[in-house]
Structure 1
């Protein structure tokens, strides 16, 4: 999964994901940061980033579990359509959580909102563990996905609010890095453990997250939004390890006042594409939603969800479980490395190169399946091709559409509409992820394995054309410069 982030949920070399714009100024200070402050902010960020690991276990669970559940010996036999739904329902759950999570974040603060959403995480895994029919698995996956989506909303905002500018970039990478690491861990454990044991492991990860969150401090911005300035000052002193916080508190107050004055009604009026003739709103919004949708139309969710099944179907020379572990490791390493390159190369060039490699990789993947199914003798010496093709696809996604679709959301959209447009774009991403994952087995039956991958390749090529034609370069440009480029195009 992309987002996020998965993932599903990707970040700009450490900046928070831009589908929820965090309040700036929470700890922005020109003063030298002490080692104690760095340790406190790092530990708090890692604590919330454990939500990313919990997300990764939910996504990675599918690769092994769906293979086991579809086997004749499964204690809970599931047909192809049911198996696909089990894999896809976490995306649907993630779509549904948006409004409630937003309310909880404002009403009770980031920390309490995160703690409350640990309940559906633990409850969802408990339902899966106790399941005796496929409907219980459906419910468990949906509820787990609900929690997963909420973590993707809350944690990056919290990290952006408590991290000082000097280390905000590094700490911002933690959530997505732990998300991908969670997938990798599940791929490894899936080679030696049953889907039930993996669910128990994931439930334990949820319990650890809950305990850690209980020990943490909420952000100063969060307290200020709840009209609790005394607690905001205490939190600021703790995170900065300093009693001189007047400037920082003023910045937080100003930021919170701006948020409260920019009502959702005002944002909705500006989002009305039919009545808005402002190209700085309409064009960036359409382009952002398209990029986040095309991220999923590339097939990334299907590839991650059905990794083991894909390698089994390919009959590759590498053991399917071993190949899955390799893919998980490649994704993790590529994700970490991408944070060192995302700010050094232009967004537009990076997208064009990676989308091209993704399309070629999927074409090669499809060619292997075509030969394997129609000319078996010709594919005998190509057993290495599926693993290489998928590895190149994953690497390219991790450097390109994975992080950049979310990054560009924040760079293209005006702050005036980010509060509503960001979550809307994120929900679009989750929704398309649900559709792609659910329909993948049926597309394979209809078009064959090779047809499915060639279809995903075509989507990558369409995205490439749109990027070449409509996407301006945003690297090292101000928001005003980016918006001017849309008025000229």
Structure 2
């Protein structure tokens, strides 16, 4: 049977991810801005009284991850109290404030505050946007709607590395405000709260109104009944009881364990390390290509493969995509590690100096067509409604913990033990993850939330 996606569902999915577009600018900020702040590029336009030191640059990069660690704890509670939509609108404000601060900033401390505020918004995005997307989508398009987050993020990241080198720090922050202000207007005025939230709050009339808007009218009785059945036995549970259920219910424990392991393997695939230090790694690898252009090319390819993921995310099994993605990552990381191993031992690699750029292109591609989006999609599918916010919060916090590890500790790890070592760790992790996904993770493609929960309970019993 051919399923069609309502244009209203798609519009809601696009509008909420204007915030993800802004997140792409946050992640892409360091690469073009740090050379300006440390005086290497356009020192006459540096807003700081003296060039930023290496330690100051490290904190500017990592404070967004620390802010992101705080964001999920706040948004998990708030999204249950005031709703997914209001929470997203509220937490767009710290990022807006951060860019305004940078426009007028003249001290390192102001940049620290701004990056910390950006992290609060990032933490909200990766906690609440997947939840919102999962709750407005249908069984046949849930993967596609969730994938919009990665597509808009990829566009934002590409825009940051493409625009950043050619504008001042202040002008970059002005451009970064565009998707955030657009989000407040479009999402705020034209997108509804999720029907799941209204049903959890014992507001069936509001839930029906929301679902009718999302589906463009038509017969919604069957879907509304499924939502009602799913949340009926849990709608009155508070935060404490939700936490208690998450850690005492066997199938919730299993869902949490699977989600945490899946996110750990995603983070240990090495994408954040590669994305954060692309230009630095290219410098160390002595590639035969201008570094700035190579970085732009890598993240342009990322957009193409996120688009490719739209074609397969709801057509191929989630597990198959994840296994193929991680198997490819294993080979690419092993190859990159071997390249650095030979380079460290003064082997002449001039004839293949183009290889790191090619490996990075496929590295980014394999992540974005598989394990990247899937590690965020599956938790939104396998948690019970009453523990979903708490469960996704824990998964997101773990992700940002790994990101902090990747951006702060791995560079020192590489300096001490060799540039090849992180890539060999990524390769070994990908190898182990294939067996976990193939042997443990349930398939969720095309199944309703009710079917997934029934399967988990049956498997647990």
TM-score range normalised by the length of the shorter chain: 0.7 to 0.9
Cα distance in 2 for residues equivalent to 1:432 and 1:127: 28
How do residues 458-469 of structure 1 correspond to structure 2 at under 5 angstroms? 458-467=428-437
- CA drift of 1:53 comes to 0.6
- 1:437 and 1:245 mapped to 2: Cα distance? 46
Separation in 2 of the partners of 1:426 and 1:303? 20
Q: 1:57 aligns with which of 25, 32, 35?
A: 25
Alignment of 1:208-357 (within 5 A): 208-219=182-193, 221=195, 222=197, 235=210, 238-242=213-217, 257-272=232-247, 278=250, 280-357=251-328
Q: Contact 1:302 / 1:437 at 8 angstroms: preserved in 2?
A: yes
Aligned to 2:121: 147
- Residue 290 of structure 1: CA displacement? 1.6
Paired residue secondary structure (2:67): helix
What is the rounded CA distance, in whole Å, between the counterparts of 2:210 and 2:255 in structure 1? 37
1:125 aligned partner: 99
Could you tell me whether the CA contact under 8 Å between 1:285 and 1:413 is conserved in 2? Answer: yes
Contact 1:80–1:441 (8 Å) recurs in 2: no
Pick one of 397, 406, 421 that aligns with 1:436: 406
TM-aligned CA distance change 1:399 to 1:486, over 3 Å: farther
> d(CA) in 2 for partners of 1:461 and 1:363?
11
Q: Deviations over 1:445-466 (max 9, x none)?
A: 2123222322332332333354
Residues in 1 aligned to 2:254 and 2:213: alpha-carbon distance in whole angstroms: 43
CA distance in 1: counterparts of 2:215 and 2:441, whole angstroms: 39
Match of 2:192, SS state, is coil
Instruction: Return the offset for 1:486.
Output: 5.9
1:364-375 alignment, distance < 5 Å: 364-375=335-346
Aligned partners of 1:472 and 1:485 also within 8 Å: no
Tell me the CA shift for residue 58 of structure 1: 0.9
Unaligned ranges ≥5, structure 1: 1-29
The aligned counterpart of 1:48 is 16
Per-residue CA distance 1:297-347 (angstroms, 9 max, x = gap) = 222112111222222232211111111111112211212212322344444
Q: CA deviation at 1:289?
A: 0.8
Displacement of 1:471 in angstroms is: 4.3
Q: Secondary structure at the match of 1:464?
A: helix
Q: Is the 8 A contact 1:264 1:419 kept in 2?
A: no
Partner of 2:155: 181
Q: Secondary structure at the match of 2:52?
A: coil
Partner residue of 1:400? 370
CA distance in 2, matches of 1:345, 1:252: 25
Secondary structure at the aligned position of 1:316 is classed as coil
User: Which residue pairs with 1:447 in the alignment?
Assistant: 417
2:351 matched residue in structure 1: 381
For residue 59 of structure 1, report the CA deviation from its aligned partner. Answer: 0.9
Contact 1:84 1:439 in 2 (8 A): no
- Give TM-score scaled by structure 2 length: 0.84
Residue 172 of structure 2 is aligned to residue 198 of structure 1: yes
Contact 1:61 1:195 in 2 (8 A): no
1:380 Cα deviation (Å)?
0.9
Deviation at 1:140, TM superposition (A): 0.8
Matched, 1:107 2:81: yes
CA positional deviation for 1:292: 0.6
Distance 1:310 1:445 in 2: 12
Distance 2:265 2:191 in 1: 38
Give me the whole-angstrom Cα distance separating, in 1, the residues matched to 2:301 and 2:98: 29
CA 1:178–1:129: 2 relative to 1, 3 Å: same
- Asked if the contact 2:267/2:403 (under 8 Å) is kept, the reply is yes
1:19 corresponds in structure 2 to none
Number of residue pairs matched?
Answer: 449
- After TM superposition, give the deviation of residue 191 of structure 1 in Å: 4.0
Residue 379 of structure 2 corresponds to 409
Instruction: Show structure 2 runs of 5+ residues with no match.
Output: none
* Segment of structure 1 superposing worse, 110-119 or 229-238: 229-238
Aligned to 2:166, the other structure's residue is in SS state coil
